[in-house]
Amino acid sequence: MRRLLWHGGWRRRLFRGGIGLVVLFGLIQAVPYGRSHSNPPVLAEPRWDAPATRALAARACFDCHSNQTKWLWYSNVAPVSWLVQRDVSGGRSSFNLSEWSRPQDVSAGDIVDSIRSGSMPPWFYTIIHSNASLSSAEQDSLIRGLQATFAASPPKGGGGGG
């Protein structure tokens, strides 16, 4: 008998916990951070060495490192919206391919290292954006193209060397 009472109490606690999670999810939707999506104008892109380099960069980098972010539906749902906004803001502030006339905080060497190590694009981004996953050949092509692009059109300020 006691076991049946405990079992019923367990179900009730589970139900209440589920209701609490639904209410909490609804409440966090009221937090505005992460939903003021904007794509400022493209001020200047680098002089790309080839259209293929730009196409690879657009596939793997532009959502976080340009003013041409594609804001998908999940970027409006907290708490994911908070993470997406943080990643885009951080990416744009360190390296923005749409504001090439402004100082960049990375060098060609930093970017090459990030691509080679697999830290860019991040693994969690490529889960949802499978087209951003680059094969080894595409990574090599992007690296060569970015090195040539940076050599011909170095970023201002904090980066550019090699």
- CA–CA separation, 121 vs 131, rounded Å? 11
Instruction: Say if residue 24 is in the same domain as residue 101.
Output: no
Does 131 lie in the same domain as 65? yes
Written as tens digits, the pLDDT of the chain (162 aa) is 455 555 568 888 888 888 888 887 777 777 767 667 889 999 999 999 999 999 999 999 999 999 999 999 988 888 888 899 999 999 999 999 999 999 998 888 899 999 999 999 999 999 999 999 999 999 999 999 999 999 998 887 654 444
Residue 155: what pLDDT? 83
| Position 44 in a domain | no
Tell me, yes or no, whether 159 lies in a domain: no
List, in sequence order, every residue forming a beta bridge with 156; answer none if it has no partner.
Answer: 103
Residue 56: count of CB within 10 angstroms of its CB: 20
The closest alpha carbon to 42, from 23, 56, 58, belongs to: 58
Predicted local distance difference test score (pLDDT) of residue 35: 67
Q: Is residue 37 part of a domain?
A: no
E-assigned strands of 73-139? Answer: none
Cβ neighbours around 9 below 10 Å, total: 10
Kindly report, residue by residue over 27-42, the tens digit of the pLDDT.
Answer: 777 776 766 788 999 9
The verdict on 16 and 59 lying in the same domain is: no
Angle of helix 136-152 versus helix 51-60 axis, rounded to 10: 120
Residues 104 and 141 in one domain: yes
Same domain for 67 and 108: yes
What pLDDT, on the 0 to 100 scale, is given for residue 23?
83
Predicted confidence at residue 148, as pLDDT, reads: 96
Rounded Cα–Cα distance for residues 145 and 117 (Å): 17
Residue 79 lies in a domain: yes
Residues 115 and 147 in one domain: yes
Alpha-carbon 78 to chain mean position: 16
Looking at the fold, whether 88 and 128 belong to one and the same domain comes out as yes
Q: Are residues 66 and 99 in the same domain?
A: yes
Q: Could you tell me the residue range of the domain that residue 115 belongs to?
A: 51-152
Residue 40 located in a structural domain: no
The pLDDT of residue 29 is 76
Does 22 map to a domain?
yes
Give the chain's domain count.
2
pLDDT for 27 equals 75
Cβ proximity of 89 and 64 under 8 Å: no
Tell me what pLDDT residue 161 has. Answer: 41
